[in-house]
Structures are given as C-alpha cells and as structure tokens.
Amino acid sequence: MASSTKRPRPRASDATAPDQAASGRATSDRAAAEGTVPDRASAEAVAPAEEPAVPHVRVAVIGSGFGGLGAGVRLRRAGITDFVVLERADSVGGTWRDNSYPGCACDVPSHLYSFSFAPNPDWPRSFSGQPDIRAYLEKVADVFGLRPHLRFNTEVTEARWDVERTRWRITTTAGRWTADAVVAAAGPLADPQIPDLPGLDTFPGKVFHSSRWDHDYSLAGQRVAMVGTGASAAQIIPAIQPQVGKLTVFQRTPAWVLPRRDRTITELEKRLHDRFPVTAKLRRGTLFALRELQVDAFVRRPGLLKLVQRLAERHIADGVADPALRARLTPDYRIGCKRILLSNTYYPALAAANTEVVTGGLREVRGSTLVAADGSEHEADAIVFGTGFHVTDMPMGSRVFGVNGTSFAEEWKEGMEALRGSTVHGFPNFFFVIGPNTGLGNSSMILMIESQLNYMIDALTRLDEIGATAMQPTARAQRRWNLELQHRMDRTVWTTGGCRSWYLDKSGKNTVLWPGSTTSFRRATRKVDLAEYELILRQGSGLALSASTTEAEEARV
C-alpha cells in the first residue's frame, strides 16, 4: 500500500471560470479573502505551465438539485471548501426547478423528503408541492453558504480524465476547469424523453414535455392531448381537465393508483416542530420506519402486496362508475411492478365528460390529427408529453471519458453498473449521487443521497490520509457487487410482477432500483473498503497503481 504520510496538496486557483461575469469574480474574490478559495497569485504559482488560465479545484460537482447541494454541504463540513457546483440552468433546484407543471407535488411525506441535517418545521402540507420544495432548496443554498460555489448557466459538455496529471479536465459552456475529483449529481430525471413519432414535426400546434412546461401558453378551451399516464401525468390531468375544452389521454399501460392521504399541516404542528425539534425527528423517524417495513413486500415477498392491490382496485371502483373505462384503467400486472401513484383526483378527471382515454398509446401524427395504436384518430391543438426521462441511457454518459478514453456510454453498452452505486472502474475519483441501482420504489431518495454523500466524503478523506492521488474500483469488486445485486433483483416485484417499466433497460435488466432497504444501503456505503479499490499515485510525471488493494482482494476471494 502507498505510504500513509500525508502529502501537501497544491493550492487551487480561483474557482471562477475565465469568462465568468464580473459579479462571479467578485464573489470568488470575497471567498478568497475568507479563506474558502485560495488567492489568484498563489494559484498561478502552481498552475501547470501549459494551461495557466484554467482554474483548478479539489472537487467539481455537477448539478444543484438535492444531490449537488447536499454534496456542497458535506464537502464544507469535511473542511473541503475548494469546490464548484456547475449548474446548466440559472438557479438551484434540479428536478424541482424543471418540473413546474400544474399540480406538481411530491409523493413522499414532506418530513421525510428533506435532509436530515436541514429539517424544515414549516412544511405547509404532509405532501408538499413543487414551489415549497424548490423554496426549501434555495434556503439550503443560503443557510449553508453554498452561493459562492455555485456557477449557473454552466453546462458540462465534456469531462475527460487526464492520465498523466491524474485529474479531470472539464469543459463547460462557460469555460474550463480541472479537478481532482468529480461528483455527478445531475440525477436520472434530468433529460426529458420524447418518443420519435412519425409526423410529429408536422403538428401545427403547441408541443412540450411535462418537465419543460410552457406557462405562457394557455390551455383554456383547447383540445389537449396528454401522452402518457405515469407519475407526472397523474398530477397534470386533474389539474388541467377542468379548464381544457377536450382532453385526450393516450395510455400505453395503466398504473396502479392509491389514495393520497394529504392534508394541511396545522400552525400548532409547525410551532411544535420549531420549538421542540425532537418532535420533528420523531415524526421523521416514524415515517422512515413505516416505509422500511414495506420493503420486504417489494424485494422478497411480492405476494404480500395482494392486500394493497385490493385497495387499489377499490380506489378505481370508487372513482370510475363506467365499467368499460374501469376495465381500461385496471392494470394486468402485480401492483408495485411499476411505480405506484398516489391521487384522489386522477380517476374522477379521467371519468369526466370532456376526457377520453385512448388505450395502446400514440402511433403517429398527421398534421393536427393524432393517430392512436388502434387506428383511431383524434384532433388536438396541443400535445403534452408525460413520457419520462433518459434514465438507463443518461445523456451525460456520452460526455464523460475515463482512463482509456472510453465514455460511460461505451462502458455501459450492456447496461449501467457501478460499485455500490457510486464509483465505476476506469473512471478514477468520479463519484455518482443517485448512480446505477440506487433508486427507490417506496421511500425517500434523500435517504439514499445522504448515504452516497457519506461514501464520497469517506473516499476523499481516505485519499488524504493514505497520500494517494486518486482511486477507482477494481473490475472484480465492481462485477461481484453487481452479480450479487442482480441475483437479489430476481426475487423482486419489479422483475416478477409481469410489467415493462422505465426501471428496465433495453435488455430487460433493472439498472435503476436498489433491491433492499435504505438501512441496508446505508450499511453498504458507510465506509470505503480499500480492498475494493486501486489507489493511483503520482510519481514525478508518471503513475503507479498500488498493488496492495488488488492483492488484498485476491486473498479474500
């Protein structure tokens, strides 16, 4: 193993991109004065001679949603203040900034859908809406001093590992950086997916995806086509149905829907949580425990979901009187196989006089005429796509290149894989937040995010302690982890439930969800096991891979 003597780390240059606005430069100058970002003179003294204008940071974080902001908070708490958060939009929020469609809200209880280190006693509802969640994230950025690290309108167009200098070279729309480590927190629900429909370019009306809602366009009195019946559509449909002239819903596969137990949180409750924080912790702990108790039914004994399915069938019967429509809205797969939706208004909106449900999905577009899979034709003035995101084929994968010049897209052509959902062989010092197989089907993703942040911080801390420059998982450790993970996946409702979902890639492999409890994932990511890693050392202008980690692993197998 490498020497445990801690090496002095070169000071980073000013974290502001060369062509950043003057206000950005002023912010970085203030940060330098406060000691959070080293001064420009010392930075230039250690910058590589061939690229003096390219700033260097310890960590570059991609994205400013829950994952990116959480990473910033954890880095600062670990004493790592030399970092930037690169955000392609003009504000923080991630998916809760992008998804502002009518009715947008969370389907996880508010007090569980927040950071453990940033409780919010002022949630207005038990299931909070998009504006309140976005406001919460803005507050996190302010309270935890993340503003000086944020770089807006800065989309990462390429990240490439520099083998010789053991660092990442990052190209963005606002300039270039180099970084010792990269934290990818863009999230899987970032890039909308619109089906490649014949004739869509001939449609004369308005077309947009649910995550790119056009608030300047009025749907009042219009003939609106809603394509998709997933989680976003289940919120959009009840919100727009009363105002549109005609609503045509193109349903490819129906979803199971349960009642939504939502209510206003009283002022007394808010005051209680604010004055006695332990009560908020107790509330969060109770919500957490209830969700953990559900895990066994999803991952080991799907038969336990039969009672839940009966409740969902009752919910359909209560909301839809027409037996023919009820039959079209009743799934033919086991509940839980696809994402379970929560709504009290979805079925009444589908049963309304101005709504038509077309089964089989949308096949093609002929001008303003939409042709369904069954051949029926429907006129529309606007098309709203609620067709999800690029999850198993994340666009960022074609922009990141590792040790051998291979991209994630090439590396993952047979399906996404990572070690503990966080690191990938061939991509040193690259850490995912919400990486492969870290999604959940029944609880709060914030729990998973915090576990991965723990893992990332431990990795960076261990590198300093050991004196290594970078680390990457061994191919064997990564493969063993994923073989075991997929073996466990074979028993889950997502595999045995009889449906095709966005959890599965084109080969039918579930590369999205975690087949266990959030508690088990927290244990799996509590500490970095160096026996699973190769440590990369900088020796003059060359490199050396520490053999002790791979040797230790061989001894364990």
Give the CATH number, domain containing residue 340. 3.50.50.60
Contact 160, 91 (CB under 8 A): no
* Residue 117 falls inside a structural domain: yes
| Cα separation, 282 vs 266, whole angstroms | 17
| Cα separation, 98 vs 65, whole angstroms | 10
* Residue 267 falls inside a structural domain: no
For residues 169 and 318, membership in a common domain is answered with no
Predicted confidence (pLDDT) at residue 48 exceeds the cutoff of 50: no
Q: For 244-273, b where at least 16 C-beta lie within 10 A, e where not — what string? A: bebbbbbbbbbbbbbebebeebeeebbeeb
User: For residues 44 and 451, which has the higher predicted lDDT (pLDDT)?
Assistant: 451
For residues 55 and 167, membership in a common domain is answered with yes
Alpha helix (H) ranges present in 179-258? 231-240
* Residue 269 falls inside a structural domain: no
Contact 237, 386 (CB under 8 A): no
Reduced 3-state DSSP string for 259-290:
CCCCCECCHHHHHHHHHCHHHHHHHHHHHHHH
- What is the separation of C-alpha 88 from the centre of its chain, rounded to a whole number of angstroms? 15
Residue 264 pairs in a beta bridge with 125
* Per-residue DSSP letter, 439: B
Predicted confidence (pLDDT) at residue 550 exceeds the cutoff of 80: no
For residues 71 and 137, membership in a common domain is answered with yes
* Residue 350 falls inside a structural domain: yes
Q: ∠101-261-67 over CA atoms, to 5°? A: 50
* Per-residue DSSP letter, 40: H
Last residue of a domain, one of 363, 385, 407: 385
Residue range 140-146: mean pLDDT, rounded: 98
For residues 515 and 420, membership in a common domain is answered with yes
Last residue of a domain, one of 332, 354, 385: 385
Residue range 529-550: mean pLDDT, rounded: 66
For residues 130 and 59, membership in a common domain is answered with yes
Percent share of the chain, pLDDT over 90? 84
Task: Report the SS3 class of residue 407.
Answer: strand
For residues 421 and 508, membership in a common domain is answered with yes
Alpha helix (H) ranges present in 490-543? 493-496, 518-524
* Residue 9 falls inside a structural domain: no
Least confident range of 134-138, 225-229, 474-478, 544-548 = 544-548
Contact 357, 177 (CB under 8 A): no
Residue range 336-348: mean pLDDT, rounded: 97
For residues 359 and 404, membership in a common domain is answered with no
CB-based burial label for 172 (10 Å; 0-12, 13-18, 19+) = buried
For residues 60 and 94, membership in a common domain is answered with yes
Long-range contacts of the stretch 109-113 (C-beta < 8 A, 24+): 109/287, 109/444, 110/265, 111/280, 111/283, 111/284, 111/287, 112/284, 112/287, 112/288, 112/291, 112/443, 112/444, 112/446, 112/447, 113/444, 113/446
Q: How confident is the model at residue 36 (pLDDT cuts 50, 70, 90)?
A: very low
Residue 395 pLDDT: 82
Residue 385 pairs in a beta bridge with 209, 227
For residues 238 and 132, membership in a common domain is answered with no
Q: Which two tokens stand for residue 230?
A: 């997933």
Predicted confidence (pLDDT) at residue 515 exceeds the cutoff of 60: yes
* Residue 272 falls inside a structural domain: no
Phi, psi of 507 (to 5 degrees): -90, 0
Residue with tokens 């009966």: 310
Residue 44 pLDDT: 37
* Residue 4 falls inside a structural domain: no
> How many beta carbons lie within 10 A of that of residue 472, not counting itself?
24
* Residue 175 falls inside a structural domain: yes
The average confidence (pLDDT) of the chain is: 89
Residue 498 pLDDT: 94
Last residue of a domain, one of 385, 420, 451: 385
Residue range 4-26: mean pLDDT, rounded: 35
What is the residue type of 379?
E
Residue 537 pLDDT: 86
* DSSP strand pairing (430-432 vs 175-184): parallel
Predicted confidence (pLDDT) at residue 89 exceeds the cutoff of 80: yes
For residues 338 and 468, membership in a common domain is answered with no
Residue 20 pLDDT: 36
The CA-based dihedral angle spanning residues 81, 87, 91, 92, taken in that order and rounded to the nearest 10 degrees: -60
Look up the domain containing 375 and give its range: 200-261+288-385
User: For residues 12 and 309, which has the higher predicted lDDT (pLDDT)?
Assistant: 309
Contact 326, 319 (CB under 8 A): no
- How many domains does one find in the chain? 2
User: For residues 19 and 305, which has the higher predicted lDDT (pLDDT)?
Assistant: 305
Phi, psi of 178 (to 5 degrees): -125, 155
Residue 5 pLDDT: 34
Predicted confidence (pLDDT) at residue 7 exceeds the cutoff of 90: no
Predicted confidence (pLDDT) at residue 24 exceeds the cutoff of 80: no
| Cα separation, 41 vs 509, whole angstroms | 52
Angle of helix 66-77 versus helix 130-143 axis, rounded to 10: 20
Residue 121 pLDDT: 95
192-217 pLDDT tens trace:
999 999 999 999 999 999 999 999 99
For residues 340 and 204, membership in a common domain is answered with yes
For residues 216 and 357, membership in a common domain is answered with yes
Residue 539 pLDDT: 54
147-190 pLDDT tens trace:
999 999 999 999 999 999 999 999 999 999 999 999 999 988 89
| Cα separation, 538 vs 164, whole angstroms | 8
Contact 313, 331 (CB under 8 A): no
| Cα separation, 232 vs 234, whole angstroms | 5
